[in-house]
Amino acid sequence: MHRISIASVLIVSPLVVLAEVAVPADPVELAPVMVYSPDVANQVPVSSFATPVSVLRFEPLVDVQSRGFAEAQSDISIRGGTFDQTGFTVGAVSIYDPQTGHYAGELPVAPSMLGAPTINTGAQNAMSGWSATAGNVGYGWNRVTSQGFVSAGGGSDNLLRTEAYSGYVSSKKIAGRTLAADASVAYSESEGSRPFGDHEFARYNARIQLADDVSQTDLFAGYQDKFFGWRELYAGPFGSTETDDLQTTLLVLNHRINHGADGDYFQAGAYYRRNDDEYQFNRAAPNTAFIHRTEVTGASFDGRHSFTEATALRYRAGVIADEIESTELVVGPVNGRYNDRTQGYAGLFADHTVTLAGGRSLVMTAGANYDASNRSGSAVSPVAEVALAKDRGALRRVYVAYSETTQLPGYTALNSNSAVRFFRGNRDLGRSESKNIELGADTTIENWTFKTAVFFRKDENLVDWTFNPALPRTARIAAQGDSDTLGFESVARRNFDRIDLVLGYAWLHKTEDYLAPGTDSFYAFNFPVHRVTAAIVARLGAGFEARMDNEFRVQEDNALRRRNDEVLLSSLGLYYTVPGVKGLTLSAQVDNLWNTYYEEVPLVPGARREWSVGARYAW
C-alpha cells in the first residue's frame, strides 16, 4: 500500500491572510484572518488542513455528505441533487472526474490561492457550469501578494496537521506586467475518530502569475496524496474495513482580462488532471481488484461583450477529453462499451436591459447551450431569465428563470460489471437532462440582506445508485429514471459591531418513478427535508474571537440509514491574538460539538467528536 512520507514536509496548519478584521473599540489589534468563504464562520477544519471542500460543509446552499470527515471523501450536493449533478469550475475551466462524482471535489489546490466559492444554481449554473445539472461551485484565482503564514496543530486521535503558504511579488516588470509567484505545502495525519479511520495526507502547490491592472495569467501545478480508511466506507453494511488511496495531479493555465467597469471580460484556460485510485474492501487482505487511473484534458473560454449600454452578449465554449484505465471498470459483454470519450460544449446568451422610471431596470436574458460527445448524441438546452432590479427600497431584485442542462454518466456507472461485485453498472445508461424553473428575490430590510428562491427541477434519466437492504449481500445497482424536486431556499446576512451572522434555510420535496418496492436510494433520496444553518462570528474583545457553525437537519426517511434522521451538528472555534506578537494567533476548535451519531451517507458510520489546538504566524 502506498503511503506518504512525512520527510521534508514543513510544519504548519490553517488560517491564511486575506481580509483584516478591525474592531476600533478593542485595544488589542486582531491578526489578519483568512476568509475562504464569508458564508461560514470557521474557515479551517478540525481533522486536517483546509481544502476547497472544507468551507462548503456549512455553506447554506451546499450539502456536504462526508465519509469520516469532509477532507477525506465528500459527496457535494446542491438543491437535493446527487454528487454527479454538481460541477466545479476554476477560472475558465470545468474540472471533473470521469470515474465518479465521488472524486469531483478532489482539487489539489490550496484555498489561499483561490477566491471564495460561488454557488451557481438555475440559469446561472446553466451559463457557467458544465456537466452539472443541479448546480456548480465556482472558484477564481486570487491575486498573489507578498504575504504568507506558517502554522501547526494537533488534537484528538493523535492528530497532526501542518501547512505553509508564501507569496512573492517581484518589483520587475515583464512586458509591463508584474511577475509574482506563490507556493504552499500541507500535511496531516490522524488515527481517526473511529477504529480503522486513520488518514495521511500531503499536498504541494506552486503557481507563477503575470498581472497588471486589468489582466491576470496564472500557471498552476498541484499534487495531492491521500490515504484514508473508514469502516464501511463505500460498500457497507458488511463490517468491511475499507481504505482509499488517491494521488491527484492538476496542471492549469488560466488567463483573464477585464474590459471596463460594465462587467465585460474574456478568459481562457486549459488543464490536465490525473487521478490514481486504489480502493481496498478489506485492508487486512489487500488485492488489485479495484485500481483505477483517470486522465482528463480540457480547454475552454468564456466572456461577455457589451455592444451598447443596453445590450451585451455572453459566450462560452470548451472541449474535454477523458480516459480510464482500470482493473474493474473495463469494456466487455457485462461491462461498458468504451473507456475514453471526448465531449464539447458551446453557449451563447444575450442580455438586454430596459431602463424604467424610479431607478428600476428590466434585464432580459435568452440563449442556449449545445452539448455533444463522440459517445452519445447531442443536446440543445435553452436558458431564459427576466429580472427586475431596483437601486433603492427593500426589494432590490426579483427574477423568474428557466434553464435546461445535460450530462453523461461516469465510468463507475457505465463500466461496472452488471452481474457481480459490490457496485453493479449499466452499459446502456444515456444522457441525463434537467429542467429547472424558479422565482427568486434579493431584499434588504433594516441592515439584513436576504436571497430567496423557490424552484422546481425535473430530472430525466437521472443516474442513481439503489440498494435493497432486505436481500443479503446485495450490491449497489446503477439505475436510471425520472425525479422531480420542489424546493425553497433563503440566506440572510447581517453584520453588527461585534457579531456577524449568516443564516440559511432550505426545504425540499422529491418524487421518483424508478425505485422498486423495498429498494432505497443512496444518493438522490439522501437529502434533508428541512435544513437550517447558522454561522456566528463574535469578536469578544481583549484579542479573543469565537466562531461557530451550526446545521440542523430533518432528513428524508431512508430505510438504509440506521438511526437519527434529525440531527444538530456544530463546530466551535476560539481564537486568540497574542499581544505584542504581530501575526501570531492561537486557536482551539471542536467538531461535532454535541458528539451526535449521524450517517451523512446511509450505512456509513458517522464521525465522533474531535478537537484540535493550533498556532498560526502570518506576515
Higher per-residue pLDDT: 402 or 474:
402
Look up cell 461496472; give the residue: 416
**CATH class of domain segment(s) 54-618:** mainly beta
Predicted confidence (pLDDT) at residue 19 exceeds the cutoff of 70:
no
- Grid cell for residue 265: 471580460
**Which sign, positive or negative, has the C-alpha torsion 558, 559, 565, 570?**
negative
Residue type (1 letter), 65: Q
- Grid cell for residue 596: 451526535
pLDDT, position 472 = 58
Task: Give the 3-state secondary structure of 201-252.
Answer: EEEEEEEEEEECCCEEEEEEEEEEEEEEEEECCCCCCCCCEEEEEEEEEEEE
Written as one string, the DSSP assignment of 551-563 is: EEEEEPP-TT--S
Q: Mean pLDDT of all residues in the chain?
A: 92
Cβ proximity of 531 and 513 under 8 Å? no
Query: Comparing 19-23, 91-95, 429-433, which segment has the lowest mean pLDDT?
Result: 19-23
Higher per-residue pLDDT: 299 or 33:
299
* Residue range 353-377, pLDDT digits in tens: 999 999 999 999 999 999 999 999 9
pLDDT, position 473 = 59
What's the average model confidence in pLDDT over 436-444? 98
The three-class DSSP label of residue 125 is helix
DSSP conformation class of 475 = P
Please state, in angstroms and rounded to a whole number, the distance separating the CA atoms of residues 614 and 459. 45
* Residue range 395-422, pLDDT digits in tens: 999 999 999 999 999 999 999 999 888 8
Helices (H), 374-448: 411-415
C-alpha triplet 164, 170, 176: angle, nearest 5°? 135
Cβ proximity of 341 and 373 under 8 Å? yes
- Grid cell for residue 561: 440509514
Predicted confidence (pLDDT) at residue 338 exceeds the cutoff of 50:
yes
- Grid cell for residue 62: 451546499
Please state, in angstroms and rounded to a whole number, the distance separating the CA atoms of residues 6 and 187. 8
Closest CA to 322 of 273, 378, 270: 273
**pLDDT band, residue 569 (cuts 50/70/90):** very high
Q: What are phi and psi of 290, to 5 degrees?
A: -130, 75
CA dist list (Å): 123 to 82, 348, 402, 433, 519: 18, 13, 6, 14, 33
* Residue range 115-129, pLDDT digits in tens: 999 999 999 999 999
The three-class DSSP label of residue 21 is coil
Please state, in angstroms and rounded to a whole number, the distance separating the CA atoms of residues 550 and 565. 16
* Residue range 578-606, pLDDT digits in tens: 999 999 999 999 999 999 999 999 999 99
Domain ranges of the chain: 54-618
Please state, in angstroms and rounded to a whole number, the distance separating the CA atoms of residues 350 and 163. 45
Predicted confidence (pLDDT) at residue 484 exceeds the cutoff of 90:
yes
pTM score, two decimals?
0.93
- Grid cell for residue 71: 477532507
What's the average model confidence in pLDDT over 491-506? 97
